[in-house]
Amino acid sequence: MSRRRMIYEGKAKILYEGPEPGTLIQYFKDDATAFNAQKRGTISGKGVLNNRISEHIFTLLGTIGIPTHFLRRLNMREQLIRQVEIVPIEVVVRNVAAGSLSTRLGIEEGTQLPRTIIEYYYKDDALGDPMIADEHIACFGWASQEEMNDIADMAIRINDFLCGLFAGIGVRLVDFKLEFGRLWENEYSRVILADEISPDGCRLWDMSSGEKLDKDRFRRDLGGEAEAYQEVARRLGLLKEGEANMVLDLDSHRKMRGK
Ligand code: UDP
């Protein structure tokens, strides 16, 4: 891994220089953090699963016309992506009350929202990613009005698509986080979907049992994180029956050999 130039190391992923200009390699780690990295741990095999899940979702979004940074998966933990300038805003889409919305406004977790809510948070770890309004985005020039219109339109389309995709596999899409990046073509730029979509940044509840199949298992010390992520991958058809454990075993074998 040290053969390549590292561009950036985040909490769950590392970015390396890509093989051609304008490309990067996105490496998925098993590291998990919560509460602005005050809680740290690892979820064994998470990186392998998130790489596959995100590849699948970004590919499907591409087929409905959502532009994304995803180019192709390279191996179990890496994908080739387009280099973008990340818009410093986390876009959270909510269908059901949970997490910070419930705590902040006292709305019981699991309450179906009468309409979808889009929220924006300023990406700044030192500030703890504070919630912001359109006014702050315009005032501080974090994104133009045109970019925000495109982002909001894409967020709604992505939500509609993903709600259906997950409903089809018996999963309720409670909420999720998106990030967007600017792709420059000469002096013009357009915003495209970046980062990842995986159980790390989504709340996914089993429709019949209500069981959590996402990072809340880690945040709330519920246990069974790896199994939950595997279950999402399996239901999406990304693991053949019986292959789930094999993927994780293969990966730990590979890591033991130091590859
Ligand atoms: N989320 C995320 N990264 C963050 C904050 C939130 O991926 O830095 C996701 C989170 O997994 C959930 C949704 O965004 O699916 C809404 O999170 P919320 O605001 O409820 O915050 P939390 O309860 O996770 O602190």
**What's the pLDDT score for residue 238?**
98
Q: Would residue 213 count as lying in a domain?
A: no
**What's the pLDDT score for residue 246?**
53
The secondary structure element, H or E, covering residue 104 is helix 99-105
Residue 64: CATH number of its domain: 3.30.200.20
Examine the domain organization and report whether 98 and 191 are in the same domain: yes
Examine the domain organization and report whether 130 and 111 are in the same domain: yes
* 240 pLDDT tier (thresholds 50, 70, 90): confident
> In percent, how much of the chain has pLDDT > 90?
90
Residue nearest ligand 1's atom 11 by CA: 201
Examine the domain organization and report whether 48 and 117 are in the same domain: no
Residue nearest ligand 1's atom 7 by CA: 201
Examine the domain organization and report whether 74 and 115 are in the same domain: no
* Pairwise CA distance, residues 121 & 131, whole Å: 4
* 259 pLDDT tier (thresholds 50, 70, 90): very low
Distance of CA 103 from the midpoint of ligand 1 (Å): 12
Q: Would residue 147 count as lying in a domain?
A: yes
What lies within 8 Å, CB to CB, of 250 at 6+ separation is: 76
Distance of CA 259 from the midpoint of ligand 1 (Å): 33
- Identify which of 11, 38, 43, 92 to mutate to test ligand 1's pocket (most ligand atoms within 8 A of the CB): 92
Q: Would residue 134 count as lying in a domain?
A: yes
Examine the domain organization and report whether 143 and 187 are in the same domain: yes
Residue nearest ligand 1's atom 10 by CA: 201
Q: Would residue 216 count as lying in a domain?
A: no
Examine the domain organization and report whether 91 and 182 are in the same domain: yes
SS3 16: strand
Distance of CA 12 from the midpoint of ligand 1 (Å): 14
Ligand 1 pocket check for 175: Cβ under 6 Å:
yes
**What's the pLDDT score for residue 252?**
53
The number of distinct structural domains making up the chain is: 2
Ligand 1 pocket check for 201: Cβ under 6 Å:
yes
State the closest ligand 1 atom to the C-alpha of 119, by its place in the atom list counted from 1.
19
Q: What is the pLDDT of residues 154-209, one digit of tens each?
A: 999 999 999 999 999 999 999 999 999 999 999 999 999 999 999 999 999 999 99
Examine the domain organization and report whether 197 and 137 are in the same domain: yes
Residue 160: CATH number of its domain: 3.30.470.20
Output the pTM of the full model: 0.94
* Pairwise CA distance, residues 116 & 42, whole Å: 32
Q: Would residue 259 count as lying in a domain?
A: no
Q: Would residue 212 count as lying in a domain?
A: no
139: tokens are 């005032």
Ligand 1 pocket check for 129: Cβ under 6 Å:
yes
Examine the domain organization and report whether 67 and 95 are in the same domain: no
Distance of CA 3 from the midpoint of ligand 1 (Å): 34
Examine the domain organization and report whether 60 and 126 are in the same domain: no
On the CB side of 74, CA atoms within 13 Å amount to 16
Distance of CA 240 from the midpoint of ligand 1 (Å): 30
Which residue range is the domain that position 238 belongs to?
6-84+229-252
**Which residue has tokens 């973008």?**
84
Examine the domain organization and report whether 110 and 24 are in the same domain: no
Q: Would residue 111 count as lying in a domain?
A: yes
Distance of CA 4 from the midpoint of ligand 1 (Å): 31
| CB burial string 127-147: b at 16+ within 10 A, e below | eebeebeeeebeeeebbeeeb
Q: Is the pLDDT of residue 254 over 70?
A: no
Q: Would residue 219 count as lying in a domain?
A: no
Distance of CA 220 from the midpoint of ligand 1 (Å): 13
Examine the domain organization and report whether 71 and 14 are in the same domain: yes
Examine the domain organization and report whether 101 and 201 are in the same domain: yes
